[in-house]
Structure formats: C-alpha cells, structure tokens
Amino acid sequence: MKIAVVGSGYVGLVTGACFAESGVTVVCVDNDAKKIQHLKAGSVPIYEPGLETMIQRNMDKNRLFFTTELKEGIIGSEVIFIAVGTPPGEDGSADLKHVLGVAKEIGEIINEYIVVVTKSTVPVGTSGKIRKAISNELDNRKVNIEFDVASNPEFLKEGAAVDDFLKPERIVIGVENERTSDIMKRLYQPFMLNNHPILFMDIASAEITKYAANAMLATRISFINEIANLCDILGADINHVRKGIGSDSRIGSKFIYPGVGYGGSCFPKDVKALIKTARDNGYELNVINAVEKANDYQKNIIFSKMSKFFNNKLRNKVIGIWGLSFKPKTDDIRESSSIILIERLLKEGAMIKAYDPAAMTETKKLLGTTIGYAADPYEALSGADAMVLMTEWSEFHLPDFLKMAEVMNGKVIFDGRNIFDPAEIRRNGFEYFGIGRR
C-alpha cells in the first residue's frame, strides 16, 4: 500500500513515519524546500522523542520518502492525508488557506480513485469545502475521476507523539461510505491490534470531536487554575484539593494540575476556533468563553506575583528562567506562557537569562539577542535576582538548591508548575511562590 502525507510538521512527520513503520510506503510532501532538503539528509527539524530514529530506519528500508512535489506523493497512492497547519485567522477562525490550497492541487493532479483524509484540525464543514475544491479542478480539467473525503483528526501529544500514534487510545474517522471505511480500517489495522478502538462516524461528528476534546482538556486546566488562585487567596493548598477531588472516579486525577495557563499550537487556537464556529452559527459557548478568559488571566499570573514581590520595580532586575517550550519534551514555543512572561518582563526593563533543554534554537529565532541564553540551568541563574520555573522538564525537578543560592543574587523562586517542595526551598533560604500553595 502506498500513501501520501502532505505537511511535514509535528503531525505529518509522525503520521508518515508511523505508517511507514507498519510496512506502508509513505511519501511525505512539504512545500518548504529547506525542510525537505534537511529531511532527505536525515536531519529532523523538530524535537520529538523517538522520531529521528524511526524516520532514519524507514528511509533506510525504502519505505519513507520526502519530496516537495505533490505529484510524486499522489501517483499510485490509495490515501492522501492533509496535515498542514490551520493557524488562527484574525477573527479566531481556523485559517483554511493551506488545507484548501492542497485540495486544489490534488484536483489538478489525481488521475485515479483516492481517499483524501483531513488530519489537520478543521472546523465542521471543511471536508465539504475540500470536496468542492477538488471537484472544481476536475471540472476545469473536464475529467471525471472518483474520490472520497474523510476526516481523521489527530490526538497525539507533542513530546509523546510517536507512542500516542502507535498506541492510540482511539482512532476517530469520519466517512461518507463503506468503501472509505474499509480502506481506512485496513490502513489502521496494525495500530488496533491491542484493542485500541477505531470509531467510525459521520464527517461532521469527527470534525467536532477533535475540538470538543481539546476544549474539554482546556476547561479542566482553566478550572483547576481558578481553584488554585482561590487557594492562594484563602490560604489553602491546591495539592491537597487536587488529590481530594482527583480521587473521585467521576473526576479523575489527569489534567487537573495548576500552572501558568495552557499554550502550544493546539489548545489556544482550537478553543478560539470552536467559539467562532458556534458564534457564526448563532450560538454562544459560555463555558468555553470563560475557559479562554481564565487562561488569559493565568498566563500573567507569574508576572503579577513578580511585580508584587518587586514592588513594580522590575527595571534592571536579572531574571533566570528555566523552560521556554510550552510543555516538556518538545521544542515547540507556540503560545508558550514562558515566552509571554519574557516579553512582559522585557517591556518592564528586566534582563532575562534563559535555559531550556530543547527550545533554545526556536526561541532564538523569535527573540534573538533580546535575552541571554545559558548553556546550563545554573548559568541562567548567575547573578539573578529571581528564578522562575516555567516548563516542568524532568531535569528541573531536583535541582541543587545550595548551588542555586551560591550563584544567585536574590533569594526568591517562582514555581509556575508547582514542582518544587516549598519547605525544602525555604530551608535553603529562598522565598517560594507557587500556584495555589500555602
């Protein structure tokens, strides 16, 4: 079986590599010539555990190919996945120009039956638009070629993407007929061997399932952040409260860790897009609106705590920051709370020294020389008036507090992810500020 995957980003690369791993011949297509050149040379442009080895292995076995030419991907393929970006437009809606651009190109090229599957996160109705864009091109060519559309939203988590793809908790596929579901079942069969369910449904339901999943997770985060902020005010400890509610099986313990607000390439834009879809259809999503508002507040929570601590005098303060990516095990800094904090501190005249195990290159592209980059966590704290933990990389969990005390100028720690033990920190002579902890 041969398939094509268009878009070689976080989702496209993982999708392509994992299908190749199951024995399928995969052609990954991207219009970024530089990216394809690097991939062909065996260099993977993103940090994702396990991905580089898998890509290399499948390239060596002649099952995984990279190209900028969509035609090379399409010819002889039974399925083509669209996995290009759907960034937020100015009004919050998902910008479909990349997705529909690819659809148009598909219509220009296909000469035999193919299933066109949307993996990008797209609003309800997009598959219909894809069908129309392809049909228009076939009409222009005056040819009658059969094709089907399907929606197969992706639920992988950056940082654990390969594992999530190989052992998915569920596979959601929206289809219009049995022919499509049979092809998709065959393709996904190797990933269902451990009883992972494949859920077939209509296309609109599949499209909305992805947004509903992300909105639900974002809701849990904003909910626990609000309760943590209340704990701060009332002198309670969110860790006790979190365990107290998480042991209720109806609630569960996952995704109720307070922090500095959700970021990344998905939750913020998907929450916005869902609100916009509902609004366009005359319906106001009151809960989701509040989730977004609470998250905007939370992204500034550390800045507020720091301002208060330094009596609004942040000018020339040296701040050492651990963590730049929006979460551990990724180099993705899109909508990262750390970057938002840094930009705010720079505006106030503070000086930043930062360290991240994987995201420094991406941050340099965005912030350039406006901040300092340290070679290790302790170098980031040298002469610092305050230390801020923004991303909970595992290497940050048990730092050498004595060494920190030696190199730092001030003795205060802001723990945006509640990973440190406040008592231990205080024993080492620091003041401690977490999120909702006594």
Residues marked as catalytic? 266
Nearer to ligand NAD, 66 or 223 (CB): 66
> Please, which residue, 170 or 313, has the CB nearer to ligand NAD?
170
* Residue 9 or 320 having the CB closest to ligand NAD: 9
Q: Buried b / exposed e across 331-345, counting CB within 10 Å, b at 16+?
A: bbbbbbbbbbbbebb
Confirm if 55 and 17 have CB atoms less than 8 A apart: yes
Q: Which is nearer to ligand NAD, 103 or 345 (CB)?
A: 103
Structure tokens at 422: 């406040």
Q: Is 372 helix (H, G, I), strand (E, B) or coil?
A: strand
List residues near ligand NAD by CB under 6 A: 6-12, 29-32, 35, 83-86, 98, 101-102, 120-121, 154, 156, 158, 265-266
Q: From residue 169, give the alpha-carbon distance in Å to each of 16, 48, 132, 206, 303.
A: 19, 19, 32, 15, 37
Rounded to 5 degrees, φ, ψ at 198 are: -110, 120
Nearest approach in angstroms of CB 389 to ligand NAD is: 23
CB of 27 to ligand NAD, least distance (A): 12
Q: Rank residues 156 and 318 by Cβ distance to ligand NAD and give the closer one.
A: 156
**CB of 280 vs ligand NAD, minimal distance in Å:** 19
Residue 197 structure tokens:
């369910």
Write the DSSP assignment of 178-227 as a string of letters: HHHHHHHHHHHGGGSTT---EEEE-HHHHHHHHHHHHHHHHHHHHHHHHH
DSSP-assigned beta bridge partners for residue 415: 389
Length of the chain measured in residues: 438
187 neighbors 24 (Cβ within 8 angstroms): yes
User: Minimum distance between the CB of residue 361 and ligand NAD, rounded to whole angstroms?
Assistant: 15
Q: How far is the CB of 32 from ligand NAD (least distance, A)?
A: 4
10 Å CB burial of residue 11 (0-12, 13-18, 19+) is buried
Residue 83 or 217: the one with the smaller Cβ distance to ligand NAD is 83
* Shortest separation between residue 58's beta carbon and ligand NAD, angstroms: 18
Nearer to ligand NAD by Cβ, of 323 and 377: the residue is 323
Q: What angle do CA 60, 63, 64 make, to 5 degrees?
A: 85
* C-alpha distance from residue 431 to each of 167, 306, 399, 427 (Å): 43, 12, 16, 9
Is there a contact between 58 and 17 (Cβ–Cβ < 8 Å)? yes
- Picking from 428, 414, 361, 424, the residue whose alpha carbon sits closest to that of residue 47 is 361
Q: What distance in Å separates the CA atoms of residue 16 and residue 191, rounded to the nearest whole number?
A: 14
Instruction: State in angstroms the smallest separation of the CB of 417 from ligand NAD.
Output: 19
Exposure string for 103-113, b = 16+ CB within 10 A, e = fewer: bebbbebbeee
Residue closer to ligand NAD by CB (options 32, 421) is 32
Least Cβ distance, residue 175 to ligand NAD (angstroms) = 19
10 Å Cβ neighbour count for 233?
Answer: 8
